[in-house]
Structure 1
Amino acid sequence: MKNKPPYALSSVDNALVLLHLLRDQGQLGVTEAAEALGVVRSTAHRLLSMLVYRDFAIRDESHKYRPGPSLFVSAVEHRPTSELTRIMLPHMHALRDRSDESVQLSIRSGRWTRFIATVECTQYLRVGDRRGTVLPARAASGGRALLAELADQQLRDLYYVGEEADAAPDDEARLSQGEWNALAHSLALIRMKGYAVSLPDTEPGVRAVSVALHNEIGDAVGALSIAGPTSRMNSGTIEKLGADLLAVAQRATTGLSGYRET
């Protein structure tokens, strides 16, 4: 038997119970959540909203809450990401100071990308701390930069295309032939330019540019991104930031010489 801690935080405990319910039941309404926790609807709604904010839940068109990507995307795929963060933080601070935009570090986990570190800029209108946020790899700039590192067969192992899409385990794995062609074309352009840009509708009002980070033997171990409001991220700015990111990624290779995917 596990005993409740003597100074238990009821709000934290309630949020964790909701995570269990989402995982086990597959969906949850506000009324159902309130009854399960013994709280009023407004409290249940606030708790569920925070789970949505941190990607542990999503709210569908029927206003039901379902498990979000943070519940089924492996946290770090057994990689020592604290070491990757330690190595890259000085580069991230320098990038932030030069660009006056927020800098992000991310890794790819299958069809998803997860942010593991942020250095925020000081501008009033800025991209905030995204640590823990999970986005589809084919939409986020960091995910796209890392997908561009894969061979065609590796990509096909990730996504189900055309008739195969009926067997896809989740919506993110399911691509039409047209979507596959568009993805393949965009990844070819990323390989040519060396940097990736997020799709326009990935995060409303935000645009990001990213490059893949490599260790000394050429393995892609993460992605480095600069993100800002679309009002400041025009094509000229993106090209300049992309060149700066490529230079930083090249310099960081030496520091990443001991870093491996495990």
Structure 2
Amino acid sequence: MSEQRVQPRYPIESVGNALVALDLLRLKPSIRVTDLADRLSVARSTAQRLMSSLVSHGLAIADDAGQGYAAGATLLRLGALALDRLTVREVAHPSLVSLARVTGETCELAVLDGAEVLLVDVVEGTHTLRVVDPVGSRAPAHLTAVGKAMLASLPVADLERLLVEEDLEVRMLRSIGTRAELVEQLVRVRADGYASAQMELGDDYVGVAAPVLGPCGGIVAGVTVALPVVRATEDFAATIGPMVAAAGREIGRRLADSLAE
């Protein structure tokens, strides 16, 4: 008997079509089911099933208007990995050095890894008393300035997917304890363009952070300034925040330029 290749149940070449959809999500802020159906030459119902499958895996989310789909948290994380963390680190490092020189404080680069932040680069400050965090350190995102800066850049649906439980881990008296409290604080983070953490993970340091967005607008990393609490003035976040936000935008521009080369 000659060997026959088993064909998929649905004649839509699911994997290939899913890859086309993912590429469109990478290139466009939002795609409509009708546009995807036209691109794939399939029925609208087929395209709808495909997008529903991507949503179930966190690769896409329905946009706020309900008219189309945007990249989901899983796709954004895969995109960040595709950019290569070493590449992001290399591009961001000069900005960290410059920020550390201006502020005199330790500057760090982190990526979002699930509901945690992962530290990928550190430039120590110039003060004798300074924050020292080793590369590779992890912490709950909601307890750090850089984590909050990156979480604020995610759609609410993706945030809820990452933080399933309403109750969050608490380590200090100032720690955010619920998802509702976090969501409320992230509204302010989006308005300010930077986030702060005040003795929420530890009682001896504070931080100010901003997101680094990729060419398609997805979160790639976050940059933060960490300083001892004894040196933090009452308005430390308002003073340092705009500088950190500018550094985040600069890293994003340099990353886009490096990818375009």
Sort the TM-score into its range (normalised by shorter chain): 0.5 to 0.7
Q: In 2, distance between residues paired with 1:238 and 1:212?
A: 15
The count of corresponding residues between Structure 1 and Structure 2 is 174
**Equivalent residue, structure 2, for 1:148:** 152
Contact 1:102 1:228 in 2 (8 A): yes
**Equivalent residue, structure 2, for 1:85:** 89
Q: TM-score, normalised by structure 2?
A: 0.62
Of residues 131, 134, 141, the one that matches 1:130 is 134
Q: Structure 1: which amino acid aligns with 2:85? A: T
| 1:199 positional shift | 4.5
Instruction: Could you tell me which runs of 5 or more consecutive residues in structure 1 were left unpaired when the two chains were aligned.
Output: 1-75, 166-170, 173-177
**Equivalent residue, structure 1, for 2:196:** 197
SS at match of 1:202: coil
Deviations 1:57-112 (A, max 9, x none): xxxxxxxxxxxxxxxxxxx8565111111111111111111000000000000100
1:232 counterpart = 2:221 = no
Q: In 2, distance between residues paired with 1:153 and 1:219?
A: 14
Q: In 2, distance between residues paired with 1:202 and 1:241?
A: 19
Of residues 98, 106, 109, the one that matches 2:110 is 106
Cα separation, partners in 2 of 1:151 and 1:259, compared to 1, 3 Å: farther
Identity of aligned residues (%): 23
Specify the structure having the higher radius of gyration (Cα): 2
Contact 1:95 1:103 in 2 (8 A): yes
| 1:248 positional shift | 1.8
| 1:259 positional shift | 6.7
What is the alpha-carbon root mean square deviation over aligned residues?
2.3
Contact 1:215 1:258 in 2 (8 A): no
| 1:181 positional shift | 1.4
Instruction: Could you tell me which runs of 5 or more consecutive residues in structure 2 were left unpaired when the two chains were aligned.
Output: 1-79, 170-176
Contact 2:104 2:126 in 1 (8 A): yes
Deviations 1:4-34 (A, max 9, x none): xxxxxxxxxxxxxxxxxxxxxxxxxxxxxxx
Deviations 1:195-254 (A, max 9, x none): 011242302201010000012322211000000001112232221110111122222222
Displaced runs of 4 or more, over 3 A? 76-79
Q: TM-score, normalised by structure 1?
A: 0.61
Contact 2:212 2:222 in 1 (8 A): yes
